[in-house]
């Protein structure tokens, strides 16, 4: 693939320079204690990174391997190093691949912008790489058309290339099945973990019940809401046939400036309703349009939203 790691649209959303920046980020886990004292304890290493934390005075029985001999030579103080292990956590990344995510289609792009699926897939790839670079375990699922397909990525950042191959072959189709994906994530996990849902959320709120349950059970849950600029500011006017991308149902409409204004208010209320729901249940909610420069969204918006740091 050369320097281009994601090329699912005319925009190369993730390139070599951005990848280097992603290495410096980390996923922000809110509902788990990151690190525990290692000190002199021995035993198998189960993942994560071990880093120096502090010194403490030597006590009889301490492992001499943790004595800092340089400090002893300078100060005559016998101290041992204490360490913390950066824990390895489980990250589930869920990507909506329903038909509504294929918007705008290649023939209707504005300014060569990616579709919602392409933008969302790049978000997933970036988050996966950030997690893998810190040796966390990452699994992804694509869902739509009444099914959910899982792809365990593992804990090796080099596995991101297999993930990118998988993402490049995704196609949007069928009705959304968000509740199914969330339910399967809950059933697959044997521990509380981070769950990130990437979707346009056009499921009429059917997923809210299980999202509330996950939050109540202590899962660290986040939503990345992706919409296109064309959806936010539709240009169509006059008499049109509006067709549901997922069901195929068609409705004849006459779109005036007043009707377009009512639509924009309804879409704003839709987003605010989701934001309020997430605020009530302590779920991170981040919303973006596909014309936001992708690097800005990852490096600035995700930081502001508290998903990465």
Q: Dihedral sign for Cα 309, 117, 115, 122, please.
A: positive
CA Rg value for the chain? 23
- pLDDT attached to residue 197: 98
Q: Which residues of 198-223 are buried (b: 16+ CB within 10 A; e: fewer)?
A: bbbbbbeeebbebbbebbeeebbbbb
Inter-axis angle of helices 116-133 and 160-168, nearest 10: 170
With a threshold of 0.85, does the pTM exceed it? no
Domain boundaries, the chain: 4-31+89-304, 49-86
Other Cβ atoms closer than 10 A to 258: 8
Confidence (pLDDT) at 34: 37
CATH number of 4-31+89-304: 3.40.50.410
Instruction: For the chain, list residues with pLDDT below 70.
Output: 1-12, 31-54, 61, 82-86, 105-111, 204, 244-247
């Amino acid at each position: 693939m050369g320097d281009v790691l994601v090329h699912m649209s005319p925009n190369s959303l993730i390139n070599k320079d951005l990848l280097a920046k992603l290495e410096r980020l980390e996923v922000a886990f809110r509902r788990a204690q990151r690190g525990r004292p290692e000190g002199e304890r021995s035993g198998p290493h189960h993942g994560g990174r071990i880093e120096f934390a502090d010194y403490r005075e030597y006590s009889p029985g301490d492992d001499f391997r943790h004595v800092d001999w340089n400090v002893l030579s300078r100060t005559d103080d016998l101290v041992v190093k204490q360490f913390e292990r950066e824990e390895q956590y489980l990250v589930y990344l869920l990507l909506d691949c329903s038909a509504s995510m294929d918007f705008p289609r290649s023939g209707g792009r504005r300014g060569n912008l990616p579709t919602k699926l392409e933008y969302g897939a790049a978000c997933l790839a970036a988050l996966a790489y950030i997690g893998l670079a810190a040796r966390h375990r990452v699994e992804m699922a694509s869902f739509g058309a009444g099914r959910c397909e899982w792809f365990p990525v593992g804990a090796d950042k080099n596995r991101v290339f297999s993930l990118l191959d998988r993402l490049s072959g995704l196609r949007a189709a069928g009705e959304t099945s968000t509740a199914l994906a969330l339910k399967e994530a809950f059933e697959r996990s044997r521990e509380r973990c981070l769950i990130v849902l990437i979707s346009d959320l056009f499921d009429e709120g059917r997923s809210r019940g299980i999202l509330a349950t996950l939050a109540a059970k202590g899962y660290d849950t986040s939503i990345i809401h992706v919409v296109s600029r064309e959806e936010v500011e539709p240009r169509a006017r006059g008499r049109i046939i509006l067709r549901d991308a997922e069901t195929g149902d068609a409705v004849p409409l006459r779109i005036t400036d007043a009707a377009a204004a009512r639509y924009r208010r309804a879409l704003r209320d839709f987003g605010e309703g989701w934001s309020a729901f997430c605020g009530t249940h302590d779920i991170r909610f981040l919303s973006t349009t596909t014309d936001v420069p992708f690097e800005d969204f990852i490096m600035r918006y995700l930081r502001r939203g508290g998903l990465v740091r």
